[in-house]
Structure 1
Amino acid sequence: MEHTLPDDTVLIAGGGPVGLILATVLSFYGVKSLLLERNDTTTKWPKMDLTNCRSMEWFRKLGLAELIRSKGVSSEIPYTVLVSSGLDKTEALTSWKLPGVDQWRKIIEEKNDGTQPLEPYQRLSQALFEKIMKERCDNDPAVDVRFGWKVEGVEELEDGVKTTVTEVSTEKRHIFKSRYVGACDGASSKVRRSLKMPLDGGPIPGYVLLVHFKSKDLARIRKQGQFWHLFVLQAEAGGFGGACIAQDEVDTWTVHLNFPLDVSSDGVGSEEAVYKVFGGLGGLYEIKIDEILVRSTYRPHIAVARKYASPLRRVFLAGDAAHQNIPTGGYGMNMGIADAVDLGWKLAMVMNGTGKSGLLQAYEEDRRPVALMSVERSGVHLGVHIKVGEILGADPHIIDSNTEEGRQKRTALDEHYQAHDNENKDFGVEMGYRYQSGICIPDESTPAPEFDPTAYHPSTWPGVRAPHVFLKDGFPIFDLYGKYFTLVEFADGSERGSGHVLQAAEAASTPVKHVKLDGEDHAYGVWGARLVLLRPDGHVSWRGDAVADLDAAKTIVGVVTGAVQGVDKLSNEDRQPEAFTSTVGMKTQDSEFEFEKIGDMQK
């Protein structure tokens, strides 16, 4: 059976978090979608458990931040990480004291210098996150949600895409014709494979047994203190061997037990796996388990697609279909959220006529370099745990001994973790990257800021996320942004030419909200330019102290909306992205991984 979708409707392959968010963003901009997911229900797997601060800023704009917080871990609970040799011991070996939401909000209020996010992060299991987003999409008339519909592959045409789909319950085959497809169908993406879009990367040398369970035996589980993450040493692993994640601070937990490739986990029962993780170097540490929810094994991968868009820019990869991370750092799903936001506003503006198709070329140019950087940092964070084996030496048990050598090893391990504590503090990775696509106009008057993965340094250099600041009345500047583009003007009584930009935007049918701020010297000092033009995602498109005339304004608007002459004529070969060299084919700083380039690792 063949179907032709209306021109105002995008087909989305995959109903996980990235697909659901893409549908939500498209709806926010008035574009409809048909969302197809092969499974009957949202995931039962815990997977991601932290929605980072940048994702929460976007959810604030979409009106979803408070809903997500209401379903997540309570705001007063700190996000403590413990490193332990086993819960049979009196105390943990070391810890990271990460602030909870309430603590971070106080920091944000007190430190109004542009270095902070507007929204703190939020712990929320992906299983709950997907339920929230699916319910929202189910109730959105702009989104046609169909679970139990399996996308088999796509064929790109000059004027659109043909997507082959199987209705799982009846095995009936359907062909959908659409203008565009968003491929959010995961690591083994049928869409990516059908278009022969290769991944570069590979698996890490090992695999993990995951057990998701319920227990209210808090006295034993929290013997060394309440925790978000508990990292545990294992003798068999010679160091870092497993972890436990508190999913809701009530009764739901997930343990990860690491295995080498040549050792089978089949002989380890689910309860035993839990006891082994909690026991660490001390053997089994039993707790009362109320229910085993899910058990599985997985082999984490580090990989990035060589291209994010099909040759005719009708199909776009997002989320795990485009990149795969190991869990350390919590970048995986948050990168997928960023993909969905970026692709969503660009695709919507092209479809509703407020932007030009050059925006679609910029999707890959913007997002792929961020993926390369993020997957490398996830490897760096894992390397911090792997390094523990060198500290422990041949006999890991010595670290628990009441000897001088034991005390020295405990000190060395504590110093190591305190010196490398950026696993959930790399705010440069989350907020400080700079887009360098053709729709960002470089500021030739000043050098571009250097990237620092460990911190966000406030800047309005084009491509960077503009800094959050509270204005004199305590109102956050972010909440003044418009739905589409925003022109922020720090007025000083001089004519800056903002009217030229607004006139040029109106002529191009591109909505621009003019935010004129008088007497906001502190905010101006942080932003550093009188005129700053922001994209819908809050990244800077252009900045300057004045616009000379209407012609100059038309050039600015033409570039930032993807209408520059010739951009649509670039062939796929003309815009080859750089090869994946961050973690493939070479060793990176603080990382022990080395992978070969391969065509598609999951054939």
Structure 2
Amino acid sequence: MSTIHDLPEGTVLIAGGGPVGLILARVLSFYGVKSKLFERNETTTSWPKMDLTNPRSMELFRKIGLADELRKHGVPSHFDYNVLISTGLSRERPLTQWHLPSVDKFRKRIRETNDGTQPLEPWQRISQVIFERWLKGVCEDDPLIDLNYGFRVDAVEEDRTCVRTTVTNVKTGVSTTWRSAHVAGCDGASSQVRRSLNIPLEGGPIPARALLVHFKSSDLTRLHKQGRFWHIFFVGESGGFEGVIIAQDEKDTWTVHLFAPIDTKVEEFDPLETISRVLGGLYGKYEVNVDKILVSSIWTPHVAVARSWASQNQRVHLAGDAAHQNIPTGGYGMNMGIGDAFDLGWKLASVIEGEAGPGLLASYESERKPVAVRNVQRSREHFEVHGQLQRILAGGAPLCVDEDTEDGKDLRRQIHEYYQRHDGENRDLGIEMGYRYTSAVILRDGLLDRVEPPWSPRQYTPTTWPGSRIPHVFLSDGTPIFDRLGKNWTLLIFCDEDVGHQYLLCTARRLSLPLDQLSLSHETHAAGLFERKLVLVRPDHHAAWRGNVVGSLEAAETILRTVTGRLLPTGLNHDGIIRPQLA
């Protein structure tokens, strides 16, 4: 029987010390909440899973003061992020390419396009190997975070009052049980937390198998034969998409993936041969000098979302790969995990600190799960874009695509036009920034907000329709509006007259809700984008409510109790509509 320990009141137990668990710990600390984290591995990953932190994730890192420091560890800001489509590095040039801007160019575009359609932060390339190591160091220096590596979470058991988590020291085999009010399952695709709760995954593996090799090579002359790149997608000997190489740091670290028959055995896998086959594309092997093989493995793509993201009593929540798994195309997996960690973190902190009711924590699943469902599907669509190469080449004589003949020119034109039409893999700002939450803590005016603004995967539509991420805009003094928001909640006021905003501020003080006011009556450009005189912004930059007037203290009370989850469900009518009462 294991020893039982009680975590101090208000401390969150985190299962899993990958990026999602570490980010969650940091978000909780940002809001003054302690955490105790257990990770089965003794150190951070050696696997290069993530290689792009997207603009929305960078906005969230900026919120908690980590964006600039993260960039110091990533790819330098002047490198472009170009993606090539190639038949092999023995050829002189690629078939086509996507020209994706560097951080510097992206930042210039943001500064010159002050119409609300752009993110505040550009993206950032950084390998997960580097990212985790850096983030672990940040958390080790944080007095509110207790990291415990080399400890495996074996099981969780919940009742109405607490969660009991069984943890085993990997070296000694000694088990301990920890009691806490809240547990976060950030323990990856094979999550033991999810299994303990008997939560099934909906979806599963797709019929594909990939060989992965992460390696060092300074043979830049041969690797950059067709120009400097971030990714190269290769046509293989089958005449279809078969492999990819990823530049991890613009120096000497690379990753290749080779899609192989699903019955490929580990013992048949030669890392050096895999590298040369990927780079050779249609034309057999293309040799480069390999300085060191870092890691190699065989993996199977999965497309799945957990049926539930929380336990029955809302004391255990899943985040990251424990809750959703997708194909890497689009880079959505890790970035969704970052969004999960931020959303769960601020909501847990609000409930623990007594600033919100249980409905806020219950909104985590209802808000984040639809994002995962859509993004997982989108990752599959991006993957299938490359799968169409074989159809274009028609399974005939794909080698003619590089010939200086009319047939070759026609094939190259078709491939170029096709990829330029289907270039959303890293350009879909609507997917990355335009997700809109719908839950019991989002309050919309039944008349004025009844029509949702247009949405597309490709672009972010600036709007404050409740549930949306508010637009980024530079104010008249050049300051980004996001940098003027409070640490917690912010009431934006775009007028000089009395529109009842004092009712909200007074009610917030009585409810112990940290609410800052930001008066922007002189900001006519921002006022047009924000659409209402009053916009209530959550800690995660999403609008919770908007309006032109608050008519009474009672109205203010309804607004703030709703958006903070203090309206408790008492039952459902025959239509499934919650009948609330004040908490």
In 2, Cα distance between the equivalents of 1:401 and 1:175? 67
In 1, Cα distance between the equivalents of 2:265 and 2:393? 25
Give the aligned partner of residue 312 of structure 2. 311
Q: Name which of 477, 501, 505 aligns with 1:502.
A: 505
1:292: how far off? 0.6
Within 5 Å, give how 1:293-372 maps onto structure 2.
293-372=294-373
Give the aligned partner of residue 485 of structure 1. 489
Aligned length: 571
In 2, Cα distance between the equivalents of 1:268 and 1:284? 15
Q: Name which of 129, 132, 135 aligns with 1:133.
A: 135
1:518: how far off? 2.7
1:575: how far off? 10
Give the aligned partner of residue 593 of structure 1. none
Give the aligned partner of residue 53 of structure 1. 55
In 2, Cα distance between the equivalents of 1:91 and 1:245? 18
Q: Name which of 552, 565, 573 aligns with 1:549.
A: 552
**CA RMSD in angstroms, aligned pairs only:** 1.4
1:20 maps to 2:22: yes
Give the aligned partner of residue 168 of structure 2. 166
1:260: how far off? 2.2
CA contact (8 A) 1:443 1:461 kept: no
AA in 1 matched with 2:442? C
CA contact (8 A) 1:235 1:397 kept: no
In 2, Cα distance between the equivalents of 1:449 and 1:365? 20
What per-residue deviation string (whole Å, max 9, x for no partner) do you get for residues 51-110 of structure 1? 000000010010000110000000011100000000000000000000010001110000
- TM-score w.r.t. structure 2 length? 0.96
What per-residue deviation string (whole Å, max 9, x for no partner) do you get for residues 374-403 of structure 1? 001101101100011101122322212232
AA in 2 matched with 1:45? W
What per-residue deviation string (whole Å, max 9, x for no partner) do you get for residues 449-482 of structure 1? 2331111010000000000000001010000111
In 2, Cα distance between the equivalents of 1:476 and 1:169? 49
In 2, Cα distance between the equivalents of 1:350 and 1:570? 24
In 2, Cα distance between the equivalents of 1:134 and 1:26? 15
Within 5 Å, give how 1:404-415 maps onto structure 2.
404-415=406-417
1:220 maps to 2:250: no
In 1, Cα distance between the equivalents of 2:279 and 2:568? 61
What per-residue deviation string (whole Å, max 9, x for no partner) do you get for residues 318-349 of structure 1? 00000001000000000000000000000100
In 1, Cα distance between the equivalents of 2:383 and 2:518? 43
CA contact (8 A) 1:83 1:230 kept: yes
In 2, Cα distance between the equivalents of 1:39 and 1:140? 20
CA contact (8 A) 1:205 1:260 kept: no
1:154: how far off? 0.5
Give the aligned partner of residue 566 of structure 1. 569
CA contact (8 A) 1:42 1:131 kept: yes
AA in 2 matched with 1:424? N
In 2, Cα distance between the equivalents of 1:503 and 1:333? 40
Q: Name which of 451, 455, 458 aligns with 1:451.
A: 455
Give the aligned partner of residue 586 of structure 1. none
1:528 maps to 2:527: no
1:462 maps to 2:466: yes
Q: Name which of 59, 80, 83 aligns with 1:81.
A: 83
Give the aligned partner of residue 518 of structure 2. 515
AA in 1 matched with 2:143? P
Q: Name which of 435, 441, 444 aligns with 1:442.
A: 444
In 1, Cα distance between the equivalents of 2:99 and 2:460? 20
Give the aligned partner of residue 274 of structure 2. 273
Q: Name which of 459, 472, 477 aligns with 1:473.
A: 477
1:360: how far off? 1.0
AA in 2 matched with 1:182? A
CA contact (8 A) 1:117 1:468 kept: yes
- TM-score w.r.t. structure 1 length? 0.93
- Deviating above 6 A after TM superposition, structure 1's stretches of 4 or more consecutive aligned residues are none
In 2, Cα distance between the equivalents of 1:315 and 1:148? 22
Give the aligned partner of residue 424 of structure 2. 422
In 1, Cα distance between the equivalents of 2:278 and 2:572? 53
CA contact (8 A) 2:235 2:282 kept: yes
In 2, Cα distance between the equivalents of 1:293 and 1:140? 30
Give the aligned partner of residue 387 of structure 2. 386
AA in 1 matched with 2:402? D
CA contact (8 A) 1:53 1:121 kept: yes
Q: 1:265 to 1:169 in 2, by over 3 A?
A: closer
In 2, Cα distance between the equivalents of 1:400 and 1:194? 54
In 1, Cα distance between the equivalents of 2:526 and 2:150? 50
AA in 2 matched with 1:100? S
In 1, Cα distance between the equivalents of 2:338 and 2:292? 31
1:570: how far off? 7.8
In 2, Cα distance between the equivalents of 1:454 and 1:376? 15
Percent same amino acid at aligned positions? 54
What are the ranges of 5 or more consecutive residues in structure 1 without an aligned counterpart? 577-603
Secondary structure at 2:520 match in 1: strand
In 2, Cα distance between the equivalents of 1:4 and 1:396? 65
AA in 2 matched with 1:502? L
CA contact (8 A) 2:454 2:461 kept: no
In 1, Cα distance between the equivalents of 2:577 and 2:340? 19
In 1, Cα distance between the equivalents of 2:252 and 2:419? 28
In 2, Cα distance between the equivalents of 1:450 and 1:325? 26
What per-residue deviation string (whole Å, max 9, x for no partner) do you get for residues 341-360 of structure 1? 00000010000111111111
Q: Name which of 207, 210, 234 aligns with 2:209.
A: 207
What per-residue deviation string (whole Å, max 9, x for no partner) do you get for residues 563-588 of structure 1? 01327x789xx799xxxxxxxxxxxx
AA in 2 matched with 1:462? P
In 1, Cα distance between the equivalents of 2:445 and 2:467? 10
1:178 maps to 2:204: no
AA in 2 matched with 1:449? P
CA contact (8 A) 1:112 1:470 kept: yes
